[in-house]
Chains A and B, each alone.
Chain A
Amino acid sequence: MLEVKDLRAGFDGTEIIKGISLSVKAGEVHAIMGPNGSGKSTLAKVLVGHPSYEVMGGEVTFNGENLLEMDPEQRALKGMFMGFQYPVEIPGVNNAEFLRMAYNAKRVNEGKEEIDPLDFDDILVEKMEMLSMEKKYRERNLNEGFSGGEKKKNEILQMAILEPKLAVLDETDSGLDIDAMRVVADGVNRLRNENNALILITHYQRLLEYIKPDYVHVLSHGIIVKSGEKDLALELEARGYDWLAPTN
């Protein structure tokens, strides 16, 4: 599904990701772990096409197509989703209306008809119940005044509605208390199937107790220093990251 080959990328002319290769297949969950500043968030942003980040080398294909040539909206329409670490607040944009716009953008792209507010509301209510979100969040402005936990739930709500092929969740567990994390993790688990894939970017192993990864990759100074199966996360929890730092 996603093939990353020797990707190098950065910000303001500074290379942050220094050659990453990664292969994600349908049905898989990959966790990317690493200390602060290792390049985890940069990788996520490059994958979804943030305009402030520049690709300096390598290639990325998504279902066989050159991902790096696509605009962020094209990537989204092709089935890529990012759950932001810090979702922006947009005052004046009604949450339910925004969700419906995004849902309809996807439908139109698939050659389907747009869905009207009433029918959409049924879908929305069902997904919100799955995430134990109070209905009032439909009427509120997009993320405006939401607590950290509600913002993260709102990200997963968008994922539930858009049903992406590949979701990149950037530090989705940060700022969540244990109950909220359980709800978010349950929501994510329910969305998993053999046709989609997940990349979890996280600093701590905590989230991985709830969403079990198939593979764990450790990022340090812009490169993957170790890849393994889910036991690696436990080892990291016990030993920290220092023993994996690149020697150069």
Chain B
Amino acid sequence: MDERIMMKGNEALAEAAIRAGCRHFFGYPITPQTEINAYMAKHMPKVGGTYLQAESEIAAINMVLGAASAGVRAMTSSSSVGISLKTEGISYLAASDLPCLIVNIMRGGPGLGGIQPSQADYFQAVKAPGHGDLHILVLAPSTVQEMAGLVFLAFDLAEKYRMPAMILGDGLLGQMMEPLTFPEATVTQPEKPWALTGHGNKRPHNIVSSLHLDPAELERTVRERFAKYEEIKAKEPRWEEYLTNDADILIIAYGASSRAAKSAISGARRKGVRVGMLRPVTLWPFPEKRIKELSQEVSSILVVEMSMGQMVDDVRLAVECRLPVHFCGRTGGMVPTPDEIEAEIMRITAKDRNAAGRRNYEINSEISIPEGRAGK
């Protein structure tokens, strides 16, 4: 077991990737993820690996496509602006059933936006990481420990299901230092008979392609991929629950905003409000089943995000509008404070109490309504 050490989130992620057997990193500098590039540039040569600073994010993701085609663990990392450029390659990777790791250390957008932490790329990561019908695995760390730990999981799941995986972090997690312990590296990569290694005059040639000019064939390949996605949605959702046993209000937050939410929960509980939290660790697949279950045990849900509200849509879909889903968010690089979130919790509590009172009143008044007036 490794000792506990202090590390920056970005560097912990990079070190974890090396420990996970990744020897091919293709990147392009962009704040606030550049430490991943710098760490790889320094450490990849020491383990006989490749660090290559590409001419663009587009080139970097296509180098990943090439290396992944050859069957090695390959990755790239960027931040929001650069991820937009990678979406072409991500679509090809997904459509070619290639495993790889893409890291997005999100910053404020849209456009060039800013360089402070954000979670405004949720839609891009979860709904449309590239053109066409596709999904990628999306994992959301909330600590430096997870910035490292989820790298192993991301590579394992990507290879198991032959699809790209994304670690969706944010500038706060990338830049902060925290103690962590690296998990024991037990890297077992599956056989990759599909990989391009040269046929050696011993087998038919392997082809990695996403082109299907026959629409019926293309539909078949997409449907096959979606059958795989259903299996992943059934087996792979991961989440963490915090004080959900007795909760009246359920907070749903991931990444850095879940940290602020946790502090807010302590504050609200001191005031006697029973608040708990579900923190999705996988954003795709989304832990919708568990959220639906919990929605039957609480009176309100509060979604906290560093965006104008993106994951909140998926929460509303999961609970099928059976209870109020509130939203508290900051955007543009602003991080919600525990006080802001606590104030929102108290506002919801007051509202819930009023609503509960009103419901009782309405039930009573309904009884007293004379016949003939009902329905007006």
Are A and B co-members of a single complex?
A: no
> Footprint of B on A, CB under 8 Å?
none
> Footprint of A on B, CB under 8 Å?
none
